[in-house]
A = this chain, B = another copy of it.
C-alpha cells in the first residue's frame, strides 16, 4: 500500500502533483461531479493507482483544501508580523486577499466551494487555519486602535469578518471581469474600510 517511513523524494513529488491534479479537477467539476478516474487521468495514471496516494476521495479533498489555504494564511502571518502602520497593513491584507482571485488558485477555489462536503472530522484542521487567519486580522485591527487609526468602539472580531466578507464579494468582480484592476480595487476597498461612504467633514449619528 503506502510507504511507511520512507516517503521517498519521488513519492512526495508525485503526491504533490496528485493534490494539484485533484484541485484542478475538483475546481472544474465539483467534488461530487468529478470522478477519481478524472483525477487520475489528469495526473497521467490509472484510476486505481490514485489510491497509492490517497486512502479515499474524501482524503484527497481534505488535502486539496489544506494545500489551498496554507500559503494564503502564511502571507497573512507575514503581514501581521510586519512593522508597518495600520493603513499599510490593511492594504496589504486586502491586496493579498484579492490577488488570490486573479492568479487562478484552484486549490483555494476548491476550499471555498467544496469544503462543506467534508465530514466534520475532516474539517477541523481547515477551521483552525481559517480561525487563525481571522485572529491575525483581529490583531491587526487592535494595533490600529493602538495607533488611533481605528475607533475604540469597533469590535475587532466583527471588523475582521467584515473585511474578509468584503474581499470575497469583490472577488466576484475580479472573476466576472478579467479586465478588472486588482490593485485599484484593493485601493478603493481600503479607502472604503478606512473612511466609509460619507463625505469627510462632519457626520451626525
List the interface of chain A (C-beta within 8 A of B).
30-33, 113, 116-117, 141, 144, 148-151, 154-155, 157-159, 161-173, 185, 188-189, 192-200, 202-203
Contacts and interface: CB of A to CB of B under 8 A. Distances in A.
Given A30-B116, A116-B30, A197 B151 contact: yes
- Decide if the interface of chain A is mainly helix, strand, loop or mixed: helix
A198 B194 contact: yes
A159 B197 contact: yes
B197 A149 contact: yes
A85 to B, nearest CB: 12
Nearest to A204: B87
A102 to B, nearest CB: 16
A117 to B, nearest CB: 6
Contacts of A171: 165
Contacts of A169: 161-166, 168-169
A33 B58 CA distance: 12
A168 B170 contact: no
Of the listed residues A113, A171, A192, the one surrounded by the most CB atoms of chain B closer than 10 A to its CB is A192
26 contacts: A30-B32, A30-B116, A31-B32, A141-B197, A149-B197, A149-B198, A151-B197, A151-B198, A155-B188, A157-B173, A158-B170, A158-B173, A159-B192, A161-B169, A161-B170, A161-B173, A164-B169, A165-B165, A165-B166, A165-B172, A193-B196, A194-B196, A195-B196, A195-B198, A200-B202, A200-B203
